[in-house]
Amino acid sequence: MLFSNPEKLLEDQKRLSEQNPVVLMGRGHSGTRVLSWICTELGVNLGTSASLATGDADDQKFTQEIKKITTNNIGTEMLRPSDLQRFQKAVSGYYGRLNHPQTLWGWKFPETYLIPSYIAETFPKARYIHLVRDGRDIAFKQHLTDDPKRKLGKKILESQNALGLPHHLQAAVSWAFQVDNFDNFRGSVSGDQVLDVLFEDICTRPYEIVEELCDFLKLSITKRCDSYIKEQINVKKVAQYKENDPRLVQEVENRIRPTLTRYHYLS
Amino acid sequence: MSKVPIRLTIYYDFLSLWCFNTLLRLKQIEQKWKVRMEWKSYMLLPEQKEQAREAFHLASQSWSAIIDEALAGELKPWPLDREVPNWSLPALAASKVAASFGERQFSDFQYSVMKGYFQEHLDISSSVTLVQLAERSGMDRKAFENQMNQPQWQDLVREEHQQAEAAGIHNVPMVVVNDEQALAGALKIEDYEDAFLKVR
């Protein structure tokens, strides 16, 4: 049993349900690092540290559990009660190890992108910052969610019948699966709990996007965030897929056209 | 309802429209909940820094959508030919001066500065503007000016800012209820009331 004391479980569930963490949702390599540091510089405690360039939550106890829960849940639509308890225990421990912050808190850890229902069930008032990057860029990058040698990647590719595809298509399919998965979920929470951000917009018009972010969090832009934007945003990261063989890009577009079109990457 | 007042420590900066919303919302429920408010400084612009007018003008176009109903439609984008406030410190220090005149003077001055900035596009980092706003809030011009020249008020603002940073506060508005619960961002009135219920 994950929680040996049922009363403590209920107490923990109630305590968590009153929290409204800020959760960065997005597939790895979508610019989640940049978004994480922007939020951190806005004063949101995402449990990361300067030594961790990824901007991920720097709490391995928490992230290791999330990885396991995510791998267990690929291809299943229903919440598993045992995994829900496990998630709640993990996040409760994480919150405790952050010293129960009273300021805005949350986390960025790309694996949680795959289990949004566990977040919503635990935190009905959570706020999601949903980051999407052009799937054609993603197709030519390596990530554990499209690596058939990794447990999670294998599970995702298996669920999409993509194990036999070349890597650029595996990565594209994995991207579309993850974005579609979140889009299927978003109807279960209130529209004002989700802010959609495109990576390309962060690169090309960072101030406007940060303003939208501030409006979403009902906070003001800080000097630290202003400096971060000036020093760290790189506009050259947009449309990197153009450096690849156009025939491969065409294959990617054909494979994931509906998702690319929904996000206006293709007309 | 309990007669014990609820203590609110509110970290704010005049340069934040979300802080203006927080002020407007808390004022609406101040009497009902017998709230005692202590306003503490947090500087979004801790050093003097020129602001690009074009960018500021663009950013100010969203003000009318953000501000609460009471002032909806009254906030226009910042005119390109107007000076843009370049520092948080002067207005916050001036508010400390106003507080030394009395609670009512502070409250009137605070509202006057917020309104002057967001609605009338006044440069509230200018001491001339701040003295005019103090006069508008019923304070004696000369006496206010004399106090403004004392370094203690700026020191107090800097001290509060440093204390906030040390406490892990890196943005505003932040409302701390009875030293127990911290509410980040400009919440809706009902969310503040929920929090008040919990400490009652």
CA distance, residue B44 to nearest chain A CA (Å): 5
ipTM: 0.72
Answer yes or no: is A132 within a domain.
yes
Q: A187-243 pLDDT, tens per residue?
A: 999 999 999 999 999 999 999 999 999 999 999 989 889 889 988 888 888 899 999
Structural domains of chain A, count = 1
| Residue-level length of chain B | 200
HSE of B108, CA atoms in CB hemisphere, 13 A: 15
Amino acid symbol at A123: F
- Please tell me which residue, A78 or A186, carries the higher pLDDT value: A186
**Structural domain harbouring B146:** 6-199
Residue A103 belongs to domain with CATH number: 3.40.50.300
The answer to whether the CB atoms of A222 and B44 lie below 8 A apart is: yes
**Structural domain harbouring A206:** 6-262
**If you count residue pairs, one on A and one on B, with CB atoms under 8 Å apart, how many are there?**
63
Alpha helices (runs of H) in chain A, residue ranges in sequence order: 6-17, 32-41, 60-72, 81-97, 116-122, 135-139, 151-159, 167-185, 199-204, 206-217, 223-232, 246-255, 257-262
Report the distance separating Cα A104 and Cα A19, nearest Å.
10
Residue A196's beta-bridge partner residues? A130
The answer to whether the CB atoms of A220 and B171 lie below 8 A apart is: yes
Cβ–Cβ contact A148 with B under 8 A:
no
Confidence of residue B52 (pLDDT cuts 50, 70, 90): confident
Report the distance separating Cα A117 and Cα A67, nearest Å.
15
B16, B46, B168: residue with CB nearest A101: B168
Whole-number pLDDT of residue B96? 98
Cβ–Cβ contact B17 with A under 8 A:
yes
Cβ–Cβ contact A158 with B under 8 A:
no
Report the distance separating Cα A161 and Cα A156, nearest Å.
9
Cβ–Cβ contact A144 with B under 8 A:
no
Q: B64-106 pLDDT, tens per residue?
A: 888 888 787 889 999 999 999 999 999 999 999 999 999 999 9
Which residues of A fall within a CB distance of 8 Å from B176? 102
For chain A, give the longest Cα–Cα distance.
Answer: 59
Helices (H) and strands (E) in chain B, counts: 9, 4
Residue B132 belongs to domain with CATH number: 3.40.30.10
Whole-number pLDDT of residue A3? 55
The answer to whether the CB atoms of B171 and A104 lie below 8 A apart is: yes
Residues of chain A with pLDDT > 70: what percent?
Answer: 97
Calculate ∠ Cα B83-B154-A221, nearest 5°: 50
Distances (CA, A) of B16 to A118, A195, A212, A222, B66: 35, 21, 14, 10, 11
Cβ burial of A75 (10 Å; 0-12, 13-18, 19+) is exposed
Answer yes or no: is A257 within a domain.
yes
| Residues of B (29-48) whose Cβ lies below 8 Å from A | 44-47
Check pLDDT > 80 for residue A51.
Answer: no
Find, in chain B, the residue whose alpha carbon is nearest to that of A98.
Answer: B168
Answer yes or no: is A1 within a domain.
no
Structural domains of chain B, count = 1
Answer yes or no: is A101 within a domain.
yes
Whole-number pLDDT of residue B171? 92
Which residues of B fall within a CB distance of 8 Å from A223? 44-47, 49
Residue A107's beta-bridge partner residues? A23
Question: Distance of alpha carbon A148 from its chain centroid, rounded?
Answer: 20
Confidence of residue A78 (pLDDT cuts 50, 70, 90): confident
Dihedral angle sign, alpha carbons of residues A40, A43, A48, A51: positive
Answer yes or no: is B106 within a domain.
yes
Check pLDDT > 80 for residue A53.
Answer: no
Answer yes or no: is A267 within a domain.
no
Cβ–Cβ contact B15 with A under 8 A:
yes
Q: B3-41 pLDDT, tens per residue?
A: 678 999 999 999 999 999 999 999 999 988 999 999 999
The answer to whether the CB atoms of B170 and A101 lie below 8 A apart is: no
Report the distance separating Cα A46 and Cα B141, nearest Å.
47
The two three-digit tokens of residue A260, written as one number: 């690319």
Answer yes or no: is B1 within a domain.
no
The two three-digit tokens of residue B57, written as one number: 């003008």
Q: A23-50 pLDDT, tens per residue?
A: 999 999 999 999 999 999 999 999 988 7
The arrangement of strands across the sheet holding A194-198 comes to A106-108, A22-25, A127-132, A194-198
Q: Crossing angle of helices A167-185/A151-159, nearest 10°?
A: 80
The answer to whether the CB atoms of A211 and B46 lie below 8 A apart is: no
Which residues of A fall within a CB distance of 8 Å from B59? 207, 211
| Residues of A (200-219) whose Cβ lies below 8 Å from B | 207-208, 211, 214-215, 217-219
